Amino acid sequence: MAAGPFLRCTRCGSEHSDREPIWHCLRCGGPLEVSGLLPGPADDRRSGVWQYPSMTGLHDARTIVSLGEQSAPIVPDPVLEGVSYHLQQLSPTGSYKDRGVSVLVSKAKEWGVRSLVEDSSGNAGASVAAYCAAAGIKATIVVPAATSAGKRAQISAFGAEIVLSRDRGTAATVAAELDATYLGHNWSPYFLAGLTTTAPEIVARSGGRAPQWIVLPVGAGTLLLGVHRGMKMLAEAGHLAELPRLLAVQAESCAPIADAWRTGAPDVPAVPVSRPVSVAEGIAVPAPVRGAEVLAAIRESNGACVTVGDAGITAATRRLALQGIFAEPTSGAALAGLQKARTRGTATGSALVVITGTGLKTLGGATPAGCGR
């Protein structure tokens, strides 16, 4: 296939055209990635994700769907030495998902999609609903029944239709019934491409270097993957001397990636096991689509994986709030994970904790979400 952005299957390596809607490999059903992207130059007339258009795979800047994303600030912890926070909850819909969804919906617009179906535990659904509203695309969001009331209300406010997966089956099935296009964010190569722009933003805000460790709450693991790929692109282009190590944090009750990492397995089990629930609903993902890629990224970065329980997550979330950072429990899990890792002598260097979503999302009380849906 010609040089320039194209789609490649991460499982079988086959290449696919990026000129029409596609969400997975047409040969083996595996997840796709956008290949042939470059890490720059930055477009300083824009901010946030669109400051790095060459990393997105979009062909036509006229189809950009933006809600004014900004570059997320980094602030230091007032007490913990070497710890700082990347405040990605300060985005248009209150979560880091906007960075990837802006690219996903822009690509859908480039493809001429009129009606789109997404499946999400909440934050991504709200983000897709918002960007589809801005793009004039009809959005249908398939959610698990345990999704918190705040997240459901946000999705509805943007005019999207909510469908419970319990009632209607998978999002791909719903899309076929509605004659709509399924573009789930966990599968979308464009969502992942958008998240790679997190890397140059962190480096630009850290004086041209990366922190020694980046700490991320991990459910599907797409943000971790995006950060790692973005950092690799910077390193390969000679813009970064050393890759940051990645600390992946999962909820104890739903930790397929941590389990696989501990046993040295190359992928997560194909059949998810139903287990107890977690307050960190954003990372209760039993069968991550890109599990093998996420495990490879953690290992390649010389990183680590830890799990945290609900008590630790709640305490860390409160600690963040008492220093002025209103984060959802999923983000508190990342800080709890860093604290646990440090008690074991890991991640003791400079560490950047990514705050992924605002506490406003769970104001009605976090609904513990099941792992096994």
Residues that bind Zn ion (CB under 5 A): 9, 11-12, 14, 25, 27-28, 30
Pairing of strands 83-87, 74-76: antiparallel
Q: Rank residues 16 and 373 by Cβ distance to Zn ion and give the closer one.
A: 16
- Shortest approach of Zn ion to residue 10 CB, angstroms? 8
- Shortest approach of Zn ion to residue 12 CB, angstroms? 3
Token representation of residue 92: 């248009």
Count of residues for the chain? 373
Distance CA 336, CA 290 (A): 24
- Shortest approach of Zn ion to residue 35 CB, angstroms? 13
Distance CA 48, CA 182 (A): 26
% helix, strand, coil for the chain, step of 5: 40, 20, 45
Token representation of residue 111: 């493809």
- Shortest approach of Zn ion to residue 188 CB, angstroms? 16
Q: Rank residues 33 and 252 by Cβ distance to Zn ion and give the closer one.
A: 33
Distance CA 330, CA 314 (A): 9
- Shortest approach of Zn ion to residue 226 CB, angstroms? 20
Query: DSSP per residue over 175-241, as a string?
Result: HHHHT-EE--TTT-HHHHHHHHTHHHHHHHHTTTS--SEEEEE-SS-HHHHHHHHHHHHHHHTTS-S
Distance CA 370, CA 221 (A): 18
Q: Rank residues 245 and 290 by Cβ distance to Zn ion and give the closer one.
A: 290
- Shortest approach of Zn ion to residue 142 CB, angstroms? 24
- Shortest approach of Zn ion to residue 143 CB, angstroms? 28
- The answer to whether residues 193 and 55 touch, using CB atoms and an 8 Å cutoff, is yes
Q: Rank residues 25 and 297 by Cβ distance to Zn ion and give the closer one.
A: 25
Cis peptide before 276 (omega within 30 of 0): no
Q: Rank residues 16 and 319 by Cβ distance to Zn ion and give the closer one.
A: 16
Q: Rank residues 270 and 322 by Cβ distance to Zn ion and give the closer one.
A: 270
Q: Rank residues 57 and 244 by Cβ distance to Zn ion and give the closer one.
A: 57
